[in-house]
Amino acid sequence: MGELTILLVEDESRVAGFLQRGLEEAGYHVELASNGGEGLRKALKGGHDLMILDMMLPGMDGLELIRRARARGITAPVLALTARAGVTDRIEGLDAGCDDYLAKPFAFSELLARLRALSRRSVDVPPGALQSGDLVLDVRNRRASVAGRPVDLTNKEFALLELLLEKNGEPLTRQIIADRIWGGQPDSFSNVVDVYINYLRKKLEEPGGARYIHTVRGVGYVLREEKPMAGK
């Protein structure tokens, strides 16, 4: 690959130095920032292929940094580093605009692997496609894939997935899904919604892999990439 530029936002100088040396040895160009404010200013200049962002930053924390960067149109994939890797923390980060999470302490080889995956994702997504993590829906050419693996969908499955991706992270009721996809009332179509959700889950999700479609009890369904914890 050509040399990719990474913006590394890390306030611990020892960790930043270690990461910079390792990344440059791996062929990346690294720009450093030591706090949230500096990281945001450099991010807004653009020109970065990837960002590595510590969540626990002095002043402006990582969540606020990524929210502001995304609001200003910065689209570079973001790998978040955090000492807090609970489900709630990860969901909050993903909703803010992070693309992947890596819990501290971590193996440097895993960090490199995740960066490679993020760089492939940023290059391979067709213009106008809908995406959640490794899940990509090419609406124009009517193709779906998960981490590069093609997924064969029926017309109804495609329409359902498109709806879920359009509302990425926003729960949808069975009634909304039934009205949009089948044009019917929830009483007669709630069961078929559940059936097609299960069809999609079987096609998109593999054992030990990321989960995409989640049940929201008392509401309906939400699409959100949730990768398994390391070591599980």
Using the predicted structure, report yes or no on whether residue 1 has a pLDDT greater than 50: no
Using the predicted structure, report yes or no on whether residue 187 has a pLDDT greater than 60: no
The reported pLDDT for the residue numbered 232 is 45
Q: Of 179, 220, 166, 171, which is closest to residue 197 (Cα–Cα)?
A: 220
Residues 13 and 63 in one domain: yes
Which CATH number covers residue 69?
3.40.50.2300
Q: Report how far residue 232's alpha carbon sits from residue 225's, in angstroms, rounded to the nearest whole number.
A: 16
Residues 158 and 222 in one domain: yes
Q: Determine how β-strand 100-103 pairs with β-strand 172-173.
A: unpaired
What SS3 string covers 133-194? CCEEEECCCCEEEECCEEECCCHHHHHHHHHHHHCCCCCEEHHHHHHHHHCCCHHHHHHHHH
The reported pLDDT for the residue numbered 230 is 47
DSSP 58: S
Q: Is residue 231 part of a domain?
A: no
Look at 59 and 222; give whichever has higher pLDDT: 222
Which pLDDT tens digit goes with each residue over 188-203? 556 899 999 999 999 9
Residues 111 and 158 in one domain: no
Which pLDDT tens digit goes with each residue over 42-79? 999 888 889 999 988 988 999 999 999 888 878 788 99
Residues 138 and 198 in one domain: yes
The reported pLDDT for the residue numbered 22 is 95
Structural domain containing residue 187: 130-226
Residues 86 and 145 in one domain: no
Residues 210 and 164 in one domain: yes
Using the predicted structure, report yes or no on whether residue 209 has a pLDDT greater than 90: no
Residues 145 and 195 in one domain: yes
Which pLDDT tens digit goes with each residue over 89-98? 777 778 888 8
Residues 147 and 88 in one domain: no
Q: Is residue 232 part of a domain?
A: no
Which CATH number covers residue 190?
1.10.10.10
**Signed CA dihedral, 172, 178, 179, 185: sign only:** negative
Residues 104 and 208 in one domain: no
Last residue of a domain, one of 94, 124, 154: 124
Residues 213 and 162 in one domain: yes
Look at 228 and 159; give whichever has higher pLDDT: 159
Residues 102 and 138 in one domain: no
The reported pLDDT for the residue numbered 200 is 96
Any idea which residue has 């490679």 for tokens? Answer: 116
Q: Determine how β-strand 143-146 pairs with β-strand 149-151.
A: antiparallel
Which pLDDT tens digit goes with each residue over 96-151? 888 888 888 889 999 999 898 888 765 555 666 788 877 888 888 888 988 778 89
138 DSSP β-pair partners:
143
Residues 115 and 141 in one domain: no
